[in-house]
Structure 1
Amino acid sequence: MSHTVSHLYEFGNFSLDPVQRLLLRHGRPVSVTPKAFDLLVVMVENNGQLLLKEKLMDALWPKVSVEEGNLAVTVSHLRKILGDDREKHVYIETVSKQGYRFVAQVLEGPEVPLESSELHAELEEHVAMAPVDYALMPRVVMVRKWMAGPAIALAGLLAMAGWLVSRHIDTASANGRSIGSLAVLPFATIGGKSSDEYLGLGTADALITRLSNTGKILVRPTSAIEKYRNSSISVESAGKEQQVDAIIDGRIQREGNRVRMTVQMVRVGDGAQLWAQTFDEEFTNIFSLEDEVSERVAHSIRLQLNNKEEKRFTKRPTENQEAYSAFVKGRYYWNKRTNEGMMKGLEYFREAIRMDPNFAEAYEGVADSYAALGLYAAIPPEEAFPAARDAAHKALQMNEDLADAHATLGLIDFYYDWNGPAAQNEFQRAFDVNPNYAMAHSWNAENLAAMGRFPEALVEARRAVEEDPLSLIVNSNAGWTFCLAGQYEEAIQTLSRAIDIDPSFPRTHFRLGNVYETRGLYDKAITEFTQAVQLSGGDVYYTAGLGHAYAMAGRTSDARQVLISLLDKSAHQYVPAFAVAMVYAGLKDNGQALYWLEKTSADHSTSMAYLKVDPFLSGLRSDPRFAKLLQRMKF
């Protein structure tokens, strides 16, 4: 029986496999964003033809209304990947006011089944020397159009066989199918002590971090899989819900001082078990277990790492077992994403540092905790963000390749220093380590939107959603970005989808209220803001949003009641000055609104970062005092 492989294209130093979604340069995989890859396929398949902008936008964003700037940004990104010269385009030509044309010579490789037994035998003997199981290699090879004659054809077949072998070393998964994305479920814990409740999620978290740091495969973050802890959902169903190619599932059983870890990888498409293995070790040597499991996963998905990536992958965060145990507990509580959980996580991260003062990831945990607590106004920004910055810098002094620490510094630059360019620089440094870091792309999207760079912001927001489609915070941030960019229908669709996933998450209701109010749908906005306030237990920013909506809807007395409640609350807890300014802005009391906005310079209200583009401050923009405020912003 003949088997087939994907139709292949070659141009310049590149090889393109549309079906496997693979771009190679000199035989090595090249990291490409999903939309840039889709654009490249369309252009290569229509080589030499003028492709109108409208056609390209329909192909890349079907049934979604997007601005033309999105296409320009994607083309620019693709040119950067291809190394296209700005002055003399080798690959992509711009046709002024019309579209684009792919101008490089493209060589196509049709699929030809190998039917000659003699040729097949000779080919099999040739590839037997390669360090890969021939059973994994498709029994079909590619004959280029320009080949002629049996001898030349045979030489071409043998050469292409070597290329296919190298291709499989780079991209084949277990059972010969490409794995481009995966999720790691929280490991089930059996027996042991009640204090081991954190161990299953901590083990998954460690594996997620290692694989993500390679930058070679898309791995769903811990926040996306935490909900499966103690869940009865099947492995295949979880994989389909997470929209990944494969899923890793395991269980941990403690017996005295020993721990047994049983792990399997399942292909989501057909539920096939790709591999399963049991690992045994002393509980005091949990590092060895994590090393073995990580190496087994990396081998099964054929991760090809350079020296720097290999060091990141194999580097242990600490050799102190007790410090690591405290760190895992910190991650466990931090991932609860509640104020109480983050405060408890912070305690454990500090404990880990006391046990190992050189534990970079524990400093990163401290930075993440303080930054999140400041972002959600749990503690004043002037207390939270400087402490977060200090911890992030200490982490990077010990290990400069911590994507999370760079992203946290970007968050601080954005929300605390109101410095857009500095934030973007740190986000880019995070992407250099982990190109698939969804949360960093999400924050970068908001940062770009705050600077008014909407086409780039939209690209980043959409990429973040593609990388972590079920993340409530990623979808919430994307909805806000779409709103700021004027993409209201996309904002409503994104936020409504997130609410369907989990109706109890307050931020999605808050952002949906923002969109409705921007559109003048005040009753719907009030409904969403009310839910956000109730679900959050009275978050001051959400309360301010409700007060602003009341005022805009003409419910002045209700708005003033909200204002009184915020001012009363400020007597015993932190209330951002921006929140008070918001309600005054809705009441059209510009003098008081600007007075309270002035106070944000002292308290660093995080929402001040959107001063340039916030639609709810539009009534203040003609005032000279507002212009002076903008001058202080580095956006």
Structure 2
Amino acid sequence: MIYRFGDWELDTDRYELRGADGAKPVEPQVFDLLRYLVENRDRTVTKDEIHKTIWKERIVSESALSSRIKAARQAVNDTGDDQKIIRTIHGRGFRFVAEVEASEGSREVVNSPAAATGASIAILPFVNMSGDPEQEYFSDGISEDLITDLAKISGLFVPARNSTFAYKGAAVNAQRLCQELGVRYVLEGSVRKAGKRVRIGAQLIDGETGGHLWAERYDRDLVDVFLVQDDITRRIVESLRIRLLPKESEAIAKVPTSNVEAYEHYLRGRQFFHRQTKSSLEIAKRIFRRATELDPNYARAFAGLADCESELYMSSASDATPETILAASTRALELDPDLAEAHAARGLALLTLDRHDEAETEFRRAMAVDPNLFEALKYCARTCQATGQYVEAAAYFERAYAVRPDDFRCLILLAQAYKDMGRHAEAETALRRGLEKIERELERHPEHGNAAALGATALARLGETGRARDWASLALLLEPDDVLTLYNAACAYALSGDAETAIGLLERSTPLIRGRLRVRARHDSDLVSLRTHPRFEALLRSIDR
């Protein structure tokens, strides 16, 4: 079915929103919300209905719903006060008020299996068959790249990484999985990498019948890994009879690098970057830099290098300057102006230098290309938090956490956004979940001092002052010279009522504070008990110099 309103067409067969300039990228959840509103345009749709339909009755915050409504309005340029397309009916819900013309799609599309089922497929994480857990980064990277490539196709719904990676390592019934994720098809696969050879197996399963549409095994030289990925993508497109737009065909055929060794380095660097310790960031930086040396035209590697430079600049662990932390992201955008990771890296560099408006613009450009890019969501949330946009910050942190549920920082920062909004019950829930994840992180990496410092702030906010001080003391033993550890430990002591220790830690960290931490120190609600301390204002003045 095609719904036409104003300058827009909502094509539910092809899962596509089209405007005067062609197809417009929108998140699946936003598309589903637009579809539900337009299909129920003869009445007011309540918030409870939206929760049941869009979130399948999962518990979500009020800000998540507000964020999705805002995104739906932005998608169709309904941003004026007059609300000509989606109108808020106060106290009741929302109503689609634009005039709508509905028509059936083309017979060819409607009769195809893809259109009849909504053209939907889940990509399960490929199983690492190498017998070496250290090769996990490679099998995960192939899975993620397939998700990214297929998500570029407007006529195909592909659940984001977090949805399918939740099944990693579990015995999966394909038919049940398809029901749980709301898709028709599922792709399973495995990877065995040995030296310069790789064996990749893949099979496409119909979730309705449980039957195999096709299965293939590729025994290739490692340098052919991109050809294998391209072949799998095109086999899926052909099997589901999806019609590709010219730009989509070009996008999925685009090879990120011709150097497979650079690709391996990029995947490995990304693995270390996501650990977010000072040592792992230093390792990731070296690996990304090596990838750029192997292929000087590899945009994603330059984006990864830029992210490392920004994070290390914040922790005072780098000799980077504002010019150098901007340089890598500039190069990434020069090489690929349409790369979501490059825009996100540029945004992080700008955020690090307190250029908030420019940073937010870059993050939104990144999300327009890839709505589920974790770095764009997380750092856009931090931008909003730094500028006092707490509702928006909470919404972006919620989305970032949904994309990567193993990231404990998002939960702790989300809790602070809730706290700043006065939503204390939700803040406590987020803190307790975040604390559980920090405890697991410390079991795996007991040397992670900043995780312990963040855990100390969580405990202090929960009123467990004794444990909070113990954790803060441990953090300072582990990383006594790390500016972020010093700062977060100071927050924990301030929240625990020990102003003198908190001030002492802030005085130690002040000479090291750079970038966005300067703004955070001035407005951080964790430090509110220090506002009247005679040494605190002097600290702020020294930070601002």
What TM-score do you get using the length of structure 1 for normalisation?
A: 0.66
Which residues of 2 match residues 606-621 of structure 1 at below 5 A? 610-611=520-521, 614-621=524-531
Shift in CA distance, 326/29, structure 1 to aligned 2, threshold 3 Å: closer
Comparing 85-94 with 276-285, which one deviates more in the overlay? 85-94
- 1:352-397 superposed Cα distances (whole Å, 9 cap, x missing partner): 333322222222232344445566x5x6266598765432222222
The 2-side partners of 1:326 and 1:554 are apart by 43
Task: Return the alpha-carbon distance in structure 1 between the equivalents of residues 322 and 447 of structure 2.
Answer: 23
Q: What code does the residue aligned with 2:488 have? A: A
The reply on whether 1:422 has 2:331 as its aligned counterpart is: no
C-alpha distance 208-54 of structure 1, shift in aligned 2 (>3 A)? closer
The amino acid of 2:372's aligned partner reads N
- Alignment partner of 1:604 out of 510, 514, 524: 514
Match of 1:524 in 2: none
* Structure 2 Cα separation of the partners of residues 550 and 39 of structure 1: 39
User: 2:394 maps to what in 1?
Assistant: 458
Secondary structure class of the residue paired with 1:265: strand
AA in 2 matched with 1:263: A
Q: 2:491 aligns with which of 582, 589, 592?
A: 582
Corresponding position: 1:316 with 2:255: yes
CA separation of 1:470 and 1:182: change in aligned 2, threshold 3 A = farther
Give percent identity, aligned residues only.
Answer: 24
By how many angstroms is 1:206 displaced? 3.7
Secondary structure (helix, strand or coil) at the match of 1:234 reads coil
Post-superposition offset of 1:432: 2.7
User: What is residue 163 of structure 1 aligned with on the other side?
Assistant: 106
Q: 1:251/1:440 Cα in 2 relative to 1: closer, same or farther (>3 Å)? A: same
Query: d(CA) in 2 for partners of 1:367 and 1:281?
Result: 33
The structure 2 residue matched to 1:412, chosen from 316, 338, 349, is: 349
The alpha carbon displacement at 1:407 in A equals 1.6
Cα offsets for 1:52-102 (capped at 9, x unmatched): 8898789878685855x7666554433332334837654345668886543
Match of 2:332 among 374, 395, 405: 395
Aligned length: 539
Instruction: Give how far 1:535 is off.
Output: 6.0
- Aligned-partner residue type, residue 585 of structure 1: A
Aligned partner of 1:363 in structure 2 is 302
Larger Rg: 1
Greater displacement, 240-249 / 285-294: 240-249
Pick the aligned partner of 2:149 from 188, 193, 210.
210
Report the AA paired with residue 319 of structure 1: S
Change (3 A) 1:365 1:449: closer
2:394 and 2:418 in contact (8 A); partners too: yes
Amino acid of the structure 1 residue aligned with 2:334: Q
1:428 deviates by 1.0
Counterpart of 1:91 in structure 2 is 85
CA distance in 2, matches of 1:26, 1:371: 38
User: In structure 2, what residue type is equivalent to 1:314?
Assistant: A
SS of structure 1 residue aligned to 2:106: helix
For 1:432-581, list aligned pairs within 5 A. Answer: 432-467=368-403, 478-493=414-429, 504-506=439-441, 536-537=446-447, 539-540=449-450, 542-543=452-453, 546=456, 559=469, 576-579=485-488, 581=490
Residue equivalent to 2:189: 250
Q: Could you say which residue in structure 1 is the equivalent of 2:202? A: 263
Letter in 2 for 1:395: A
Q: Contact (CA 8 Å) 2:25, 2:368: kept in 1 or not?
A: no
Give the whole-Å Cα distance in 2 for the aligned partners of 1:11 and 1:442: 33
Provide structure 1 residue ranges, at least 5 long, that are not aligned to the other structure.
Answer: 1-5, 110-159, 507-531
Q: Compared with structure 1, are the counterparts of its residues 588 and 261 closer, same or farther at alpha carbon in structure 2 (3 Å cutoff)? A: closer
Residue 348 in 1 paired to residue 291 in 2?
no
| Separation in 2, partners of 1:94, 1:631 | 47
* Partners of 1:184 and 1:207 within 8 A in 2: no
Q: In the alignment, what sits opposite 1:173?
A: 114
Structure 1 pair 306–471 and aligned structure 2 pair: CA distance change class (3 A): farther
CA separation of 1:24/1:200 partners in 2, compared to 1, >3 Å: closer, same or farther?
Answer: same
Structure 2's unaligned 5+ residue stretches are none
For structure 1, which segment, 209-218 or 578-587, has the greater mean C-alpha deviation from structure 2 after superposition? Answer: 209-218
Change (3 A) 1:46 1:282: closer
- Whole-angstrom distance in 2 between the partners of 1:436 and 1:179: 19
Q: Aligned in 2, Cα 1:325/1:441: closer, same or farther, shift over 3 Å?
A: closer
Question: Is the partner of 1:173 in helix, strand or coil?
Answer: helix
Q: Distance in 2 between matches of 1:285 and 1:58?
A: 45
**Worse-superposed segment, 314-323 or 234-243:** 234-243
Could you tell me whether the CA contact under 8 Å between 2:265 and 2:290 is conserved in 1?
A: yes
Aligned amino acid, residue 232 of structure 2:
V
2:138 and 2:53 map into 1 onto residues whose CA distance is 45
- Calculate the TM-score normalised by the size of structure 2: 0.75
1:81 counterpart letter in structure 2: A
Backbone CA RMSD of aligned residues: 5.2
Q: CA deviation at 1:318?
A: 2.3
Cα distance in 2 between the residues matched to 1:419 and 1:100: 36
